[in-house]
Amino acid sequence: MREFSVPPLVVVPPETNITDLVLRQAAKPSNPALFSRLDPAGSWRDVPATEFLADVRALAKGLIASGVGAGDRVGIMSRTRYEWSLVDFSIWFAGAVSVPIYETSSPSQVAWNLGDSGAVAAFGESAHHENVIRQAVTAEGLTAVQHVWQLEGTGLDSLREAGRSVSDEELESRRSAAGLHDVATIIYTSGTTGRPKGCELTHGNFVELSDNALAIIGEIVHEKAKTIMFLPLAHVFARYISVLAMAAGTTVAHTPDIKNLLADLQSYEPTFILAVPRVFEKVYNSALTKAEDGGKGAIFHRAAETAIAFSKARQDGRVGLGLKLRHALFDKLVYGKLRAAMGGHVAHAVSGGGPLGERLGHFFQGIGLQVLEGYGLTETTAPITVNTPSRIKIGSVGKPLPGNAVKIADDGEILAKGVCVMRGYYQRDDLTAEAFTDGWFHTGDIGRLDDEGFVWITGRKKEIIVTAGGKNVIPALLEDQIRADALVSQVLVVGDNRPFIGALVTLDQEALPGWLQRHNLPADTTLEQAATNPVVKAAVQDLITAANTSVSQAEAIKSFRIVPADFTEASGHLTPSMKVKRAQVMKDFETVIEEMYSAPRP
């Protein structure tokens, strides 16, 4: 077994909890802006630390007055917005435990999160969310849930008013009671299979991980930095970054509706962003599609290849004069416009939740946006490892953060230990015992560790396909390459106990009309028509053929089918973090898969 550990750089006192981070910022003479909110006039208004602290205290008192006790669980069902964080910190100030719920969740999913955690209250963003919560409570007889407050209604004001009866001393007693080892939140894994499990993340998981991370990425996350949240705060990645930002005094803005992201980026001008790989793929493919639609596709392709070559040359420490000149030219023609579209001040981006791929990593690095790829799970409070500005290996997910260790088991599985790892699964000692061996958490991911401690992810252990011929195939190696093209939305490689490897492919509905026009096909061609169109099928075959060159003949995709619909969260085929639910897709498209294997091979 190979192992690499990084000792902690910061030792946090055991009586510390997340609320101390707010007090830390409010005590600064600079009174940093912790948040920025978009007002009705379209201007961003900063929320200084003292203002945020005062409102958090008022709401926390309201929770106490409403009967929320120390250690009680409180649900939050909302889009990503300022009030999400406001309520989150208020729950912690009241000594309670927050339970995030994705705002797209069905009543049965809401009922599971609230029921399994034993929640006593919940917040819903709108009347719709409040209704979903109340439906869940009624349908499942969740009598423990005594209150449902609405963020957009009068719920917060009613809490502020109710809290007037609670003394400062009582609030402080509640706030300061939790320590590093106490549970701060129970986050349910979105899960690509089975019932979600409640991961108990402690105050220490967040505080120790944040303070140690700041010791190595302080040049990105600091008091003068700005970021904008558009990923779901119910997801551990965004949640961790929000606490990290609090630890640093970084200003955080929110975009509840992804359709407004481009406008918000340009008006807010963040210095760093965070996203899952699919977002970076979309940015690249959208820029490519726009260039091709405008007759400038060739220029963009040359610019992209130059950016990639420039990044690779810089990584190797040898950038030739000709490459420098080409890069400078394309910086004026292409790269500068891409940076301007993201606000003009973004120098860094953090990518997590899946593999980014070397090509995309080098592209963004080459245009002047350093994408720092990291790796982690809900069970590890998001990051176990991350690339840093001072030491980056594109294609890897970086080295363990201080206070953490990584080990590669004999079967290639990545094991983790350290300040990032959860306490356990809520009320599931059996699952917790299965997940740990001698203190090491089994991530379920396959990877390798190089001599410098950088981790490289290969795929998910449970997703490995074993063909009828006994060949082990890692789907992600093929899927990630094919999905990177603008024409493709999702790819699912299949072939377990089958004679050969096949694939289901979905088309990108946004990119499809432009692609069709460029190939002299009607732009109004439907997904159903496109799925059987010979030109479209030939294009997908070309992508598959190219991807097949990276694997052996036995691992190559021999047949595929284009599915005339996309895999989405709404259809039940994607998790909220945009990962494909393999079991569900294979169940729903069983007839398509069976037809593919029964048909004569091309």
Transcribe 421-451 into DSSP letters: S-SEETT-HHHHHHHEETTEEEEEEEEEE-T
User: Quick one: 202 exposed, middle or buried, by C-beta within 10 A (0-12, 13-18, 19+)?
Assistant: buried
Which amino acid is residue 354, in one-letter code? Answer: G
What is the rounded distance in angstroms from the CA atom of residue 21 to the CA atom of residue 5? 27
| Among 257, 274, 291, residue at a domain's last position | 274
Which amino acid is residue 31, in one-letter code? Answer: N
Q: Parallel, antiparallel, or unpaired for β 97-101 and 73-77?
A: parallel
- Which DSSP state fits 525? -
| Among 239, 274, 309, residue at a domain's last position | 274
- HSE at residue 370, side-chain half, CA atoms within 13 A, is 17
Residue 400 lies in a domain: no
| Among 242, 274, 306, residue at a domain's last position | 274
Considering its fold, how many domains does the chain have in total? 2
Q: Are 499 and 583 within 8 A, CB to CB? A: no
Give the per-residue pLDDT at 194: 64
Residue 420 lies in a domain: no
Q: CATH no. for residue 578? A: 3.30.300.30
User: What separation in angstroms does the CA of 550 have from each of 235, 405, 470?
Assistant: 33, 31, 19
Give the per-residue pLDDT at 283: 87
The order of strands in the sheet holding 370-377 is: 44-48, 33-38, 251-254, 226-229, 272-275, 348-351, 370-377, 382-386, 399-400
* Spans in the chain with pLDDT lower than 50: 192
Phi and psi of 2, rounded to 5°? -95, 140
Residue 213 lies in a domain: yes
Tracing tokens 């063909």 back to the chain, one arrives at 467
Residue 335 lies in a domain: no
Give the per-residue pLDDT at 190: 65
What is the rounded distance in angstroms from the CA atom of residue 482 to the CA atom of residue 507? 11
Give the per-residue pLDDT at 462: 83
Give the per-residue pLDDT at 420: 98
Beta bridge partner(s), residue 150: 124
Q: Are 420 and 431 within 8 A, CB to CB? A: no
3-state SS assignment for residue 576: coil
What is the rounded distance in angstroms from the CA atom of residue 247 to the CA atom of residue 242? 9
Q: What b/e readout covers 571-598, taking b as 16+ CB neighbours within 10 angstroms? A: eebbbebbbbbbebbeebbeebbeebee
Give the per-residue pLDDT at 459: 85
Residue 368 lies in a domain: no
Give the per-residue pLDDT at 191: 54
Q: Where do the H-state alpha helices sit in 178-273?
A: 203-217, 236-248, 261-268
Domain that holds residue 104: 16-274
How distant is the alpha carbon of residue 448 from its chain centre? 22
Cite the beta strand spans of 247-381 per DSSP E: 251-254, 272-275, 348-351, 370-377
Q: CATH no. for residue 234? A: 3.40.50.12780
Q: Which two tokens stand for residue 597?
A: 């294997």
Residue 369 lies in a domain: no
Residue 79 lies in a domain: yes
Beta bridge partner(s), residue 185: 98, 201
Residue 513 lies in a domain: yes
Task: With CA atoms as reference, report the closest residue to 421 among 386, 385, 380, 383.
Answer: 380
Q: Are 478 and 446 within 8 A, CB to CB? A: no
3-state SS assignment for residue 504: strand
Q: Which two tokens stand for residue 368?
A: 């002047």
